[in-house]
């Protein structure tokens, strides 16, 4: 097994992760983290000589669409279709204050 995970390690990682953990759960996280490190140690033993690193699973690269200038919609016509509006804007129900 690799390095033993301490209570301080668990608290430090929780702090970095902005996690709040109960002191009663530290032992569980220690065990989980040690199991992860044991698995990584097994992976470290795999021979990858001659294997090219895989940075991307498909060969797409910056797929872009050409910008096209198109004429917009007529504001007056669209506002006539709107259920809620004032003289120049659409209105919607409030999101944060249940209006």
pLDDT level of residue 98 (50, 70, 90 thresholds): low
The whole-number pLDDT of residue 83 equals 87
Single pTM value for the model: 0.49
36-52 pLDDT, tens digit each: 999 999 988 999 999 98
- Contacts of residues 8-13 at CB distance under 8 Å and 24 or more positions apart, as own/partner, are 9/33
Helix axes 7-16, 26-44, angle to 10 degrees: 90
Give CA angle at 35 (47, 25), nearest 5°. Answer: 160
Which residues, 6+ apart, have CB-to-CB distance to 63 below 8 Å?
none
Q: Where are the domains of the chain?
A: 7-44
């Amino acid at each position: 097994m690799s390095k033993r995970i301490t209570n301080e390690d668990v608290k430090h990682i929780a702090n970095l992760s902005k996690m709040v953990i109960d002191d009663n759960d530290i032992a569980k996280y220690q065990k989980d983290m040690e199991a992860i490190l044991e698995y990584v140690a097994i992976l470290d033993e795999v021979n990858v000589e001659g294997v090219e690193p895989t940075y991307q699973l498909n060969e797409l690269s910056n797929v872009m669409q050409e910008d096209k200038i198109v004429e917009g919609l007529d504001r007056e016509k669209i506002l006539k279709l709107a259920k809620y509006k004032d003289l120049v804007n659409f209105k919607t129900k409030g999101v944060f204050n249940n209006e």
